[in-house]
Structure 1
Amino acid sequence: MRQQHMTFQAIEVGDGADGRWAAYARALWQEMEGLLTDEGRTPDGADRVRTLFGTHMPELVPVLHRLAGQLDRPGAEALLTHAALRPFSQSCTQIGRNGTLLRNYDLRPDQCEGTIVSSCFLRPVIGMQDVLWGLLDGMNDAGLAISLTWGGRSVHGRGFAILIVVRYLLETCDTVDEAVDRLRSLPVAVPQNLTLVDPTKAATVFVGPDIPPTPAPDACAANHQHLPVTDEQERALRTQERLRAIRAAGTDVAAMLKPPLYRPADEQGSRTLYTAHYRPTEGRVTYHWPGESWQQSFGDFTVGSRTVTLGRVAGKS
């Protein structure tokens, strides 16, 4: 089994006004700029996505202007709306139960920023950042935690990348019910599954450009939604197998670090990059890899970096 090293970093960016976020974002700009669609590069397209953002995420408009101004790059504001990004998909598994959110994030290492960020754009939020200020998963100071998985369907429409939706919900909502209600007014570009946890409730919701937000049977998800999974999809993603496994395991971190939930590299190079264990009522998250972990919290956030070994299954050398 081929192993690979990946470096994760943890940064604090405050409200985005003091240059720390901009220094981070400028270093990635050339790579990120390639994610902008052709339409988003036109004046009309940029106007459209700015209007969409202002209509659906008005609370974040001042933050958008602040970050785009700090970044000071052509096309920055359009890209930061996350409403003109090329679609992407990832294979992940997640579960919410008893105030805990546990998830595996699976992707090619070169497609993940690997940045844990502590921010205070509108309120304190900690999470795994992607595309400069979107979030793959995270929690806020109210005790709400959210993570995402791809919905497994090749559909694309006008709307937001799910990364900015997770950011928006954590910045503006206190509870699962509030976040689910807010989802009803947010257009989402690609089918995705969101698992949400607060001190008293856990839920998974299917979203996408062609469906209204739809509650899942329980608070866990892999990479399918309401439609049957074909044999070809199952061979490629093992989504039903992983969903059965996580339902049986519950919020057991050890199970997430072993197959079938822990995924070594596939033919495309996608693999489990990290396991995140959120305890939002305590304001704590622990990122796990086989043989290693890194804890962060609102009360004790540690800036720095860790280089970890991917592809090593727990209990095996």
Structure 2
Amino acid sequence: MGELTVSIEQYRGKSFDIGAGFGEHDRMKLIRERCEQLVQPIDVNEARTILSRFAPHLLNELEGIANALKISHEESIALFSGYDLPKLEGLGCTAIMTEEGYVRNYDFGPDFYDARLILRQPKEAYATCGYSLFGIGLHDGMNEHGLAVGLHFVSTRLHQKGLMAGLIVRIVLDRCRTVQEAEELLSELPHADEYNYSLADGLGNSAIVEAGPFQSHVLKGTRLCCANHFQMTPGQTPSENSLKRFEYIEKHAYIGIASWFNEFRNPKSPLFFHDYENLFGTLHTLMIDSSTLTLKTSIAGSEEIITIPFKRWMEGEELLISMVSVTL
């Protein structure tokens, strides 16, 4: 398959300036090309109205991106707002949440991967650290209050106009401090498709929100695992692969969150996948310790572990690493 290189980027300041810096990065050219191929004509005013209600600072960030790319604000919204996209189907994402923290794998294909780990500290929203999805969206990550969120694709069977899951993760992290706040916001946001959202916070709370265009259910507990099927919402048939991952975690003996991180990132684990050519390879593993605001991550089973002391970073300490590569 070749080499996968992930950039680690740091942005602080007003949302417009963050967007401008984000848009100037060389990775943005590829993301723009991908979005141009993907995005259908949308009602930009509808997208603007939704973002104005739930995350007005993202309109400023999109304007900064437009400035960097030398395109109109309207085109930037159309390309990167995550609104009214065609049906997008993902495959594997697995997570476990305990009172100790949060661990997750993201599984897909490298050709559809932003390969950007983004640290943002905007003046208009909470600081966040997570993996970029189609530009301003996030696959997963945490914020300055220790809230961790990740997305898990379930189904496009009820697809309608709404926000893609990556924008929903971003908005929740930008606005919410706790699992409870995230549950409430997830019930209000316009969902395009059915997804699980795995949640954990600095208070030791965990939840899975099964969300879609027309209904949502919340599952709570002190030890939860989440894959690519609903546990409570009727009308959806779980895939065999999703059930196997879920049952493996459910039946596993108790281990600490650091041991789960090693299990998830182990290339020999049943939770790790290598079928990158068919959009089912593990691209990153992350562990979030919400009590200390620490994120650890590894790329595609690499032995190199990247540790981000997010609290110190928010206080002004710069990360010294800007890139990590691994051979798939």
Q: TM-score range by the shorter chain?
A: 0.7 to 0.9
Question: Deviation digits for residues 71-104 of structure 1, max 9, x if unmatched?
Answer: 4324112223211323323211011111411001
Question: Deviation digits for residues 147-187 of structure 1, max 9, x if unmatched?
Answer: 11111453311110011111111111111101111111101
Identity of aligned residues (%): 25
In the TM superposition, residue 11 of structure 1 has moved relative to its aligned partner by 0.7
After superposition, the Cα gap between the structure-2 partners of 1:228 and 1:154, relative to the gap in structure 1 and judged at 3 Å, is: closer
How far, CA to CA, are the matches of 1:203 and 1:68 in structure 2? 36
Amino acid at match of 2:229: H
In the TM superposition, residue 220 of structure 1 has moved relative to its aligned partner by 2.2
Instruction: Choose the corresponding residue for 1:206, options 188, 210, 214.
Output: 210
In structure 2, stretches of 5+ residues that fail to align are: 314-318
TM-score (norm 1): 0.85
After superposition, where does 1:287-306 map in structure 2 within 5 Å?
A: 287-288=297-298, 289-298=301-310, 299-300=312-313, 301-306=319-324
Residue aligned with 2:275, SS: coil
Question: Deviation digits for residues 169-222 of structure 1, max 9, x if unmatched?
Answer: 1111111101111111101111111111112201111111132x2113653211
In the TM superposition, residue 278 of structure 1 has moved relative to its aligned partner by 1.1
After superposition, the Cα gap between the structure-2 partners of 1:229 and 1:123, relative to the gap in structure 1 and judged at 3 Å, is: closer
Instruction: Choose the corresponding residue for 2:226, options 221, 235, 239.
Output: 221
Structure 1 runs, 4 residues or longer, greater than 4 Å off: 228-231
After superposition, where does 1:100-139 map in structure 2 within 5 Å?
A: 100-121=101-122, 122-139=125-142
How far, CA to CA, are the matches of 1:66 and 1:173 in structure 2? 24
After superposition, where does 1:119-268 map in structure 2 within 5 Å?
A: 119-121=120-122, 122-200=125-203, 201-211=205-215, 213-216=216-219, 218=221, 219-225=224-230, 226-227=233-234, 230=237, 233-234=239-240, 238-249=241-252, 251=257, 252-256=260-264, 257=266, 258-265=268-275, 268=278
How far, CA to CA, are the matches of 2:17 and 2:321 in structure 1? 18
Matched with 1:79 is: 79
Answer yes or no: is the 8 Å Cα contact 1:12–1:303 preserved in 2: no
Question: Deviation digits for residues 249-277 of structure 1, max 9, x if unmatched?
Answer: 46412321233211121772421111111
Counting matched residue pairs gives: 298
In structure 1, stretches of 5+ residues that fail to align are: 311-317
In the TM superposition, residue 290 of structure 1 has moved relative to its aligned partner by 4.4
In the TM superposition, residue 293 of structure 1 has moved relative to its aligned partner by 1.7
After superposition, the Cα gap between the structure-2 partners of 1:146 and 1:126, relative to the gap in structure 1 and judged at 3 Å, is: same
How far, CA to CA, are the matches of 2:211 and 2:320 in structure 1? 34
Answer yes or no: is the 8 Å Cα contact 2:94–2:104 preserved in 1: yes
| Residue 44 of structure 2 is aligned to residue 46 of structure 1 | yes
Answer yes or no: is the 8 Å Cα contact 1:109–1:270 preserved in 2: no
How far, CA to CA, are the matches of 1:302 and 1:125 in structure 2? 18
TM-score (norm 2): 0.83
Instruction: Choose the corresponding residue for 2:5, options 4, 7, 12.
Output: 7
Question: Deviation digits for residues 121-161 of structure 1, max 9, x if unmatched?
Answer: 32321111111111001111111111111114533111100
In the TM superposition, residue 70 of structure 1 has moved relative to its aligned partner by 3.9
After superposition, where does 1:12-91 map in structure 2 within 5 Å?
A: 12-15=10-13, 16-17=16-17, 19-24=20-25, 26-28=28-30, 29-37=32-40, 39-40=41-42, 45-58=43-56, 60-74=58-72, 75-90=75-90, 91=92
How far, CA to CA, are the matches of 1:222 and 1:102 in structure 2? 12
Answer yes or no: is the 8 Å Cα contact 2:28–2:135 preserved in 1: no
Of 177-186 and 26-35, deviating more is: 26-35
In the TM superposition, residue 306 of structure 1 has moved relative to its aligned partner by 1.1
Matched with 2:96 is: 95
How far, CA to CA, are the matches of 2:34 and 2:139 in structure 1? 18
Instruction: Choose the corresponding residue for 2:325, options 289, 307, 313.
Output: 307
Residue aligned with 1:17, SS: helix
How far, CA to CA, are the matches of 1:36 and 1:153 in structure 2? 17
How far, CA to CA, are the matches of 1:63 and 1:307 in structure 2? 28
In the TM superposition, residue 35 of structure 1 has moved relative to its aligned partner by 2.4
After superposition, the Cα gap between the structure-2 partners of 1:148 and 1:246, relative to the gap in structure 1 and judged at 3 Å, is: same
How far, CA to CA, are the matches of 2:277 and 2:23 in structure 1? 36
